[in-house]
Amino acid sequence: MNRNLLSFIVFCTSICICLADDDNLQDACPTNMTAKQNVFINGFPCKNPSSISAPDFKTSSLNHAGDTDNFLHSSVNIVTAADFQGLNTLGLSIARTDLDVDGTVLPHSHPRASELFFLRKGTVLAGFIDTNNTLFQSFIKEGDVILFPRGLLHFCLNAGYEPAIAFSVLNSQNPGVVSISGAIFETNSELIDKITRKMSSIPASELEHIRNATLPKFSRIHIQ
């Protein structure tokens, strides 16, 4: 075989191996909560297979509403493999978002995960901003799902007159959270009101309790 052709085949095979996702070597690998981690790995140590049981794959962490008695009238509870043993090595996390009336989750991103946001109750205005500075936002109602792509800033506002509840699935067992509000914003009512109006471009006739505003700093706006 031609030496150049052989080298090319070996090179292509090496790239495929390097780019391939790691697959599980067993059916499941629940987190060993009692193990002392002396060696730091990309994940958590696994339980002994002989000690794995059904409760490892069940959690009640999202059963109860979060505390929305705060400045933003919202609560986000993310459950990872550190809390839900069965998630370990599966590349998944779950979350619950509670929004009281006028509740807001300010712009943030997950550097290691995309998020599927399922609205269980209420009406919510949700959206994200892409790297072209384009805003995509939609009204979502009970049963709707919106996707927030990995690493992009996204937000949600309660657009109804009752508390809203949403559940999320993220495709990383440690999605991470980068919150621009915590890094550069002070927590005061005037600023939160300004941010809310910046994010919302829905006419006041459609969303009375979120003031009408335009978004001149965004190059394009897509509304559904």
- Tens-place pLDDT, residues 38-93: 666 667 888 888 999 999 999 999 999 999 999 899 999 999 999 999 999 899 99
pTM for the whole structure? 0.74
Phi, psi of 123 (to 5 degrees): -130, 130
What's the one-letter identity of residue 89? Answer: T
Model pLDDT, residue 58: 96
- Tens-place pLDDT, residues 130-181: 999 899 999 999 999 999 999 999 999 999 999 999 999 999 989 999 987 6
* β-sheet with 104-109: strand ranges across: 178-179, 104-109, 153-158, 123-129, 134-141, 220-223
